[in-house]
Structure 1
Amino acid sequence: PELEIEEEGGWKNYSATLQQGIVRTRRDVDEEANHLFAFEVEAKVQKRKLVFFASSRYECDEWSSLMRKHAVHHDLDNGFLVSQTILGKGSYSTVLLATDRMKKEKVALKIIPKSRLSREERQLLVEEVRISQELNNVYCVKTHEFIELLDKFVLVMEYVPGGELFEKILYGMYPQEDVRRMMRQLMAGVAYMHSRGICHRDLKPENFLLSSEKPLSVKIADFGISINVDPEDPNSSLLDKDKLRCSPGYGAPEIVLHQAYGLPADMWSMGVVLYLLLTG
């Protein structure tokens, strides 16, 4: 397939730039509000950017995937000072605290060994990277970069110092005013995701991070099973069949019963979260 290229800044050496580049999927529209399938390659050092346009989502995903393979970083320590502080653990990943050597900022590194991933889990990771890099909202944890090493994948994410909301509510309830404040922020984040046709599918206190206590501020994290919903049928378009794409206790009935579902499933999860915050 052919690609149209929009150059920003002018590059003289494309191959050298790609090896140190960041590949991101974009969501652009033209003057007539038609959806454009595009991704960009940005050089961290040269501060230059190339935008590629394809004729379909499939071609866009195929090209961006190939670009990411050639943008492999061979040594994580070149760009980051990685500590042994564990911020969190998942079924196949570990999140470590690190410092970006260039920006002098703390970041969270989600380390995912390739050996632990099945083919299906790799596809979920592709979706997580694409969706998390697409999000740009104050109430959603940002993913700055996706890095592929020889034996692992790494997501470079915004560092949120306050830890999981779940850990806080284990020691008691928040006052109603604090609950109201947190729910407003979280619902604003969910509304933003839904406006972009994204269903989180795993909204729970373990996936909400506190960026500060005073004033109270919270962000949505972990887009590992998030998915795009068909814009033609946003309320009833997904069917998990024999896979349970939610956390027990938080999933909407239609997901648990393996029925068609969509964006409203996230609202059920938020209702469970509200109940938990109010009752402890």
Structure 2
Amino acid sequence: MSSIDPTAISRPRSPDLISGYHLEKLVGSGGMGEVHKATQLSLGRTVAVKLLNPELAKDPSFIARFQKEAAALAALSHPHVVSIVDKGKTDTTYYLVMEFVDGPSLRELIRAPDLNVPVALRRMLEICRAIEYAHGRGVIHRDLKPENILLDQQAGGIAKVSDFGLASFLADASPSSRYALTSTHVSMGTLSYMAPEQRVDAKNADARADIFSLGVILYEWLTGEVPLGTFDPPSRKRQGVDTRLDAIVTRCLKPDPDDRYPSVTALIADLEILVPGSLPSLLPTKQTRMQRFRQGVRKVVNRTLQVAAVLLVLAAAVVLGLALLRGNQPSRARPGVAIMSDLGTASSGSGPGRKETGAEKFTVNLGDGPDAMALLVTGRPIQFEGKALVYPLVDEQPRVGRTIVDVVGFEGDILSLSARVRVDAQPPSWERRLRTALKLDSPAPDPVAALLLTGSTGRYVALTYNGAGEPMALEWVLGERRGAMLGLASPEGEAHLELKVDAEGLLQGYVGKGKDQRAIGEPLNLGPGWMEHFGNAPVPGFGCNEGACRAEGFTYIVRKSPPPGTTAPVVVPPMARPVVANAVPAKAVTPKRPPPPPPKKQPVKPPPKGGKRR
């Protein structure tokens, strides 16, 4: 067991915390607790003591998980599984006492620059035999990863599997009801090493989930990388790796459990052929009458197959001769690569649409509106049918088309591109069927449509969709960063697709809309300043390879993120607006009063007759 980093911080433990054991040195720590090197006083031997975190020791679920690991280890006794010595409880926590493995973890071995392939395969065979034994005892590990595999230096570097804290018991194993901790539709384990079905529903994942994890470990051991999305075979990643390992790893990593090895025993049978000097996993036993009968049938079948193989070689020679006359067929590229390949000179075109430019938002709608949108069309011709952008069925070449919307003059760091997309297959002609049957042409690829974000020459992101149940894919070529990631199966018929990039540079593909929207895979993290990966500011596009492709509601939106430390403005009703300091007061308005009535005139008395007015 490897030592922890000397900078690790841990609260000191009393050496005599556990009766009968003397704790000597902290050698590992994690979320569940700590592992100490200790001495078993009764026998004077070195052991490993695993202590549950005292805070977690108050939680019944963590106590049950700790007890579950003890039950799993107690059910197993194998030279490549860490053995349990004792378990118990103190006043503050629970503990397990296990065999002490003096050596590094597989993680440290994978990081080493030099790879000895025969030794790696021999150790991998030991790990597989440990898991085969565990499955035979009704225990599924569910958390296989390099950190949980130790290499015992005192025993010649043999591998030992540890940490059964997430193990599950098969239905026919006695401890299953007592330690059934995982709820339905709950994911448990380490994401990079988990089988697809385990990510969705860990409780119902069976032994084939461990086979997927073994495939990830083997691939990472051979190449130094974890297989994500569409990955290259190990023999292409590292020289000296036997090409037969490609098929073994690929079968382990099949997304559908039914396509993987049916058992670890079958995986071992293929690995043993590649490991020089390995011992057979099964000892010879006395055959029954039925087994002898089956062996005789196999001999007859093998002879028949040998004759058929000779005939097949002759037929293959004829087909190969025809193929050589036609020249070598190019290897089939990924859909995004095919759509973004050199399709010749682009032609200018236009289509109906609407462009709206605001202070914080820029929007382009293609297919409906008063504006004439500039398009760059390469390969297959495109047309508008109502509000939809359409690649109709074609019988002649080219079968690949790409249309880029020529939009410039916008700024922003939040982006989305969406459309309702439909793909229909091209009915094969009799001539094409005949040429395919004679191997004169390679089989036609499945029709695929793609939403595109393109930058400077050769830089792009493509969300591909075939509408026939095949996995959707996110492909990217952004300078040195390039790759592909498979995701959810394509829904049949029409689907709403969307590409989004946020201000932090997380790029994600989605299918569906509103509450039904689902991410097709893991996000691609381009980081802040993500547009630099595109060279030029990314522009939207639509592509089609084979068949008929249709995009309706094509919408491209670019937004500016708010400056740091600002929040969205709050609209205050007029009667509740606060008085703003230093504001210029409005002039007071005094309601007008009605003017006073004019004074009444006094009647003028006429002067007296014959006299003077006084």
1:246 pairs, out of 189, 204, 209, with 189
Change (3 A) 1:230 1:264: same
* Aligned-pair CA distance for 1:163: 2.4
* Aligned-pair CA distance for 1:192: 0.3
Once the two structures are overlaid, the 10-residue window that deviates more, 196-205 or 172-181, is 172-181
2:199 pairs, out of 256, 259, 262, with 256
CA distance in 1, matches of 2:94, 2:60: 14
Check conservation: 1:144, 1:156, Cα contact below 8 A: yes
CA distance in 2, matches of 1:100, 1:269: 34
Change (3 A) 1:245 1:158: same
Q: Partner letter of residue 194 of structure 2?
A: G
CA distance in 2, matches of 1:200, 1:262: 10
Larger radius of gyration: 2
Match for residue 129 of structure 1? 70
Say whether residues 1:88 and 2:28 are aligned partners: yes
3-state DSSP of counterpart to 1:261: coil
Check conservation: 1:164, 1:210, Cα contact below 8 A: yes
3-state DSSP of counterpart to 2:55: helix
* Aligned-pair CA distance for 1:114: 3.7
Match for residue 270 of structure 1? 214
**TM-score, length-normalised on structure 2?**
0.31
* Aligned-pair CA distance for 1:130: 1.1
2:105 pairs, out of 164, 167, 172, with 164
* Aligned-pair CA distance for 1:227: 1.2
Q: What is the root-mean-square deviation in Å for CA atoms of aligned residues?
A: 2.2
Check conservation: 1:211, 1:219, Cα contact below 8 A: yes
How many residues of Structure 1 are paired with residues of Structure 2 in the alignment?
201
1:108 pairs, out of 48, 52, 63, with 48
Change (3 A) 1:275 1:171: same
Check conservation: 2:26, 2:36, Cα contact below 8 A: yes
The answer for unaligned runs of 5 or more in structure 1 is: 1-74
CA distance in 1, matches of 2:216, 2:201: 19
Note the alpha carbon deviations across 1:31-86, whole angstroms, 9 max, x for none: xxxxxxxxxxxxxxxxxxxxxxxxxxxxxxxxxxxxxxxxxxxx645411211x22
Note the alpha carbon deviations across 1:212-231, whole angstroms, 9 max, x for none: 27733110000111110113
Match for residue 115 of structure 2? 174
3-state DSSP of counterpart to 1:249: helix
CA distance in 1, matches of 2:144, 2:94: 24
Q: Partner letter of residue 91 of structure 1?
A: G
CA distance in 1, matches of 2:55, 2:200: 32
Change (3 A) 1:274 1:130: same
* Aligned-pair CA distance for 1:178: 1.1
Q: Larger % of helix: which? A: 1
CA distance in 2, matches of 1:154, 1:93: 10
Q: Partner letter of residue 221 of structure 2?
A: L
Q: Partner letter of residue 265 of structure 1?
A: A
CA distance in 1, matches of 2:130, 2:81: 6
Check conservation: 2:151, 2:160, Cα contact below 8 A: yes
3-state DSSP of counterpart to 1:126: helix
Say whether residues 1:215 and 2:156 are aligned partners: yes
Give matches, 1:1-280, under 5 Å: 76-83=17-24, 85-117=25-57, 118-212=59-153, 215-231=156-172, 240-258=183-201, 260-280=204-224
Check conservation: 2:186, 2:200, Cα contact below 8 A: no
* Aligned-pair CA distance for 1:105: 0.8
3-state DSSP of counterpart to 1:88: strand
Change (3 A) 1:239 1:116: closer
Check conservation: 1:113, 1:151, Cα contact below 8 A: no
Change (3 A) 1:238 1:194: farther
Q: Partner letter of residue 130 of structure 2?
A: G
Change (3 A) 1:147 1:238: closer
Check conservation: 2:194, 2:213, Cα contact below 8 A: yes
CA distance in 1, matches of 2:83, 2:188: 22
Check conservation: 1:239, 1:261, Cα contact below 8 A: no
**TM-score, length-normalised on structure 1?**
0.67
Change (3 A) 1:250 1:148: same
The structure 1 segments of at least 4 consecutive aligned residues displaced by more than 2 Å after TM superposition are 75-78, 171-174, 213-216, 237-243, 257-260
CA distance in 2, matches of 1:174, 1:130: 36
Q: Partner letter of residue 208 of structure 2?
A: P
Check conservation: 1:212, 1:218, Cα contact below 8 A: no
Q: Percent identity?
A: 29
Q: 1 or 2 for the larger relative contact order (CA 8 Å, sep ≥6)?
A: 1
Change (3 A) 1:239 1:105: closer
The answer for unaligned runs of 5 or more in structure 2 is: 1-15, 174-179, 225-614
Q: Partner letter of residue 72 of structure 2?
A: I
Check conservation: 1:238, 1:261, Cα contact below 8 A: no
Q: Partner letter of residue 191 of structure 1?
A: E
* Aligned-pair CA distance for 1:168: 2.3
Note the alpha carbon deviations across 1:223-247, whole angstroms, 9 max, x for none: 1111101139xxxx99753532111
CA distance in 2, matches of 1:95, 1:185: 24
Change (3 A) 1:275 1:79: same
Change (3 A) 1:105 1:213: closer
Check conservation: 1:111, 1:152, Cα contact below 8 A: yes
* Aligned-pair CA distance for 1:128: 1.2
Q: Partner letter of residue 156 of structure 1?
A: V
